[in-house]
Structure 1
Amino acid sequence: MDLSGGTLEIVVSAVVISISVPGNILLIYCTRRCIDEQLRTSFTLIFSLAWTNLIYNLVVNILKIVYASNVELDSAVCKVLMFTAVFTTSLAIWFTLYIALLFCSKLCRVVHPPVEAACKNYQKFHMVLVFTLWVAGVAVCCPVLLYTRRIEKLNTENETYQQFSSLIYTECKTEYRNDLIEILYGKIFLGAINLLPLLIMLLTGFRIVYLLWEHRKATYGGIWIGGDASELEVVRACKIILLLIFVITSFCVSYFSLVYCLKNFKSCYFAPPVLTVLSSGYSSVSPYLLMLINYKVIVRMRCFCCKDEKKLVTVSAIAPVSPYA
């Protein structure tokens, strides 16, 4: 096994797992303990995103380590690996977009308060939509299970190519029955369900930046004086959302560009660790940013990390419960 290829992929995958899995497990624990009727929508989205990241690392990255260790796996494992990778990547993008749109609307209500208080409760609608996203993710990725299979190694004279090729990218292939299916589903459809949400996410990020600028201008311009704890919490959460948008957009665009634009990149000896970092970077960074969105999660995390403290700080002691969070 080459030091720059398979071994480096194992090391990178192990590091990513060691960073991502504890963070997502802690986020799931804290979010599950903090969820209530008032904050159910935002917490459910964070909870779902954390599970998506956890599934990706426990399945895809562990199988990458197994593959890079020259362990022979069959077509069934290839199907599970490729399906999980596509499924969790799409869900991570969708849930992040959902969170960005949700907090953008909250910030809009902070900067431009409605004349009359909204009396409708859309929490049930959001719960149904979250469940629909999970079902839709399974449905749109099912053809990957059908067309993915393991390709046997070919005996070629190019020893360098065999030595540096990663098993996951050279043996697990998604081959469609004809060119039409490959173009319509493999390229256009799968590309659209990922790239279109990323584009909407970028536009949402610009909208959040504009609303934050309006909030700052109104606060210090003498037009409207802010300072309410619930409103400041929304503003802080939106700043974290901007970081999430930047991170997921950077990783996903870089990954898609290398995979789909550079055809021979997968066969390079440094491709496996690079693609592992790009595909798993967001799942490693996002849980630690999501922990900072709500005060309840922050307090729960502090209590979890400092169990020996005699007096635990309550959420109400830090800030009032936010009607926007």
Structure 2
Amino acid sequence: MSFVSVVIPCRDEEFFISRCLDSLLSQDFLKENLEIFVVDGMSKDKTRNIVLEYTRKYSFIKLLDNKNKAAPFGMNIGIKNSKGDIIILMGAHAIYDKRYISKCVDYLNKYNVDNVGGVTIPLSKDEGIIAKAIARAVASPFGAANAHYIIGGGKPREVDTVFGGCYKREVFNKIGLFNERLTRSQDMELNLRLKKAGGKIMFFPDIKAHYYPRRTELKDFFRYNFKNGIWAVYPIRIVGVTLKLRHYIPLFFVLALLVLGIGGIFNRSIFWAFVLLAFLYFLANLYFSLRIFFREKDVKLLIFVPLVFIVRHIGYGLGSIWGFLTIWKLKVEASGLTK
């Protein structure tokens, strides 16, 4: 039977880490064939104390330090310390279904692929309307850019990336570890590297995790998406990697709004093109917002979900624009691989 190493990079996750670890303790996978590494980025809250309590009770749970704090360093530290022939990367913000690990292992071996993953179902951290609207919006095709690992559904299929990921150890021996210069998008870059090396990644809709979005206030949600937009662009220069087209749709949309909006001041035809684009966006926003409203039967969502969509798309698009404006300051990296 396969030995599995779980790696959880985290920092200041006192509200979530217990729920995450409890869900792993409830797994139907044999604990004798499991080790769990919580790699802490020098948390300033109670995260470390909470994890230490688990390490005292369960010998297969271990706490490691990530003095560099950023996620790719944490994942690499966990991988280097692991001994499993299968490595599963997990997020502290998630609660994992009882058969999550066993299904990952079964499918990885059955289909003889290099990485598998499943669906993440967003949850609201509290019952506040903003948190609820964010959770519902990011689970929508309009808010998730049609990412399979968020919207789910369909049949098992080969994809370009998955949430977290369940990897064969030999993958890291072959293509290297996570690029530590990429504070975001490092998982997508590694999976693109894996695909270029001839590896296969598969998505399975019955592998499920419930995920708490990291931001539950609109201003924080805007900043979060702005940074994600920046890091959709930076890998182009840092490691010469271009992400999938869906990551640049907000960039094209916001650029079009800006160009047409400014041009419309001087030209009537351009002005009407701006109006048409804005109207089409309004219709799409309304359609997906109504779908959420009819499913949830909460009239408040009809007010806040459209706003969340706007914040997500505009924030991400502006971030990507800023990324291109500042990309020249970045150093080009010859390799970017950590061995």
Q: TM-score range by the shorter chain?
A: under 0.3
Higher share in strand: 2
Larger-Rg structure: 1
Higher share in helix: 1
TM-score, normalised by the number of residues in structure 1: 0.26
Higher relative contact order by CA 8 Å / sep ≥ 6: 1 or 2?
A: 1
